[in-house]
Structures are given as C-alpha cells and as structure tokens.
Amino acid sequence: MNEEVEGVDSDCIFCSIASKRTEADIAHESKNAIFFHDISPKAAVHIVGIPKKHIVSLAGIGEEDRELVSEMIFEVARAARKLGLNEEGYRVITNVGNNAGQEVKHLHWHILGGERLGALN
C-alpha cells in the first residue's frame, strides 16, 4: 500500500510533528496549522508555528497557498494572544533558505517573547 500522503514529506521532522508521529509540546492548533514550543528556545517564550502541509519556505509557496499563508499569520496572532504575549509584545520571524540559516526545510514562523528581546542586528 502506498502510504504517502499528499503534502507530507516522510523525512521531515515538522511533518512528523504535524501528523503527531513525533511528540511536541503543542501550544495551539487550527485546521491547517500547528504551534509547538521550540525544543531549543532562544527566548523565555519560543513557539514554532507550521502549516500541516509540507512547504519548504516562503520561497516555495504557490498561488494555491494564498489562503493557507493568510491563515498562518492569523493563527500566529491567535497563538501569541493565547500565550499572553500581546501586552508586552513579541517578535515573529520566518527564516528562508541558507542566508537566513534555515535549518528545518518546512515553512515555519518563530514567535519569540516573554522577555525584552535584543535588537535584530
């Protein structure tokens, strides 16, 4: 039987988290997106938000992903609100490709907060 599911990369750690094959500390979930605590946090609160569909990065989105990307940003805001980050503020980052040091090749947004963050550069 062919077990390949469309939009899922069987070698991808974030696809594995999205399908609950790999455990993660889930903070928020919507129909097409899932948010979990980063395993190696870079701030007091560090959440990673991913679409359940495997897309490499913003460099890999197509016209068919327009609604999904929009939902992702909406859910980023909902997750941050849920985590109590609204009042003091937070930072949202998505790394794209080598120059940004993207390690996991599955589109994701970092939500960083819970403390005063350093300047970007």
Give catalytic residues, as residue numbers: 108
Residues 54/15, Cβ–Cβ less than 8 Å: yes
Is 39 an interacting residue with respect to ligand AMP (CB under 6 A)?
Answer: yes
Nearer to Zn ion, 9 or 65 (CB): 9
Please give the structure tokens belonging to residue 65: 């992903």
CB of 93 to ligand AMP, least distance (A): 7
Residue 102 has phi, psi (to 5 degrees) of -65, 120
- What is the C-alpha separation between 99 and 55, in angstroms, rounded? 18
CB of 107 to Zn ion, least distance (A): 8
Is 9 an interacting residue with respect to Zn ion (CB under 5 A)?
Answer: yes
Angle at 92 between CA 88 and CA 96, to 5 degrees: 165
Residues of the shown chain interacting with Zn ion in the complex, contacts defined by CB under 5 A: 9, 12, 14-15, 54, 106
Residues of the shown chain interacting with ligand AMP in the complex, contacts defined by CB under 6 A: 13, 24, 36, 38-40, 48, 95, 101-104
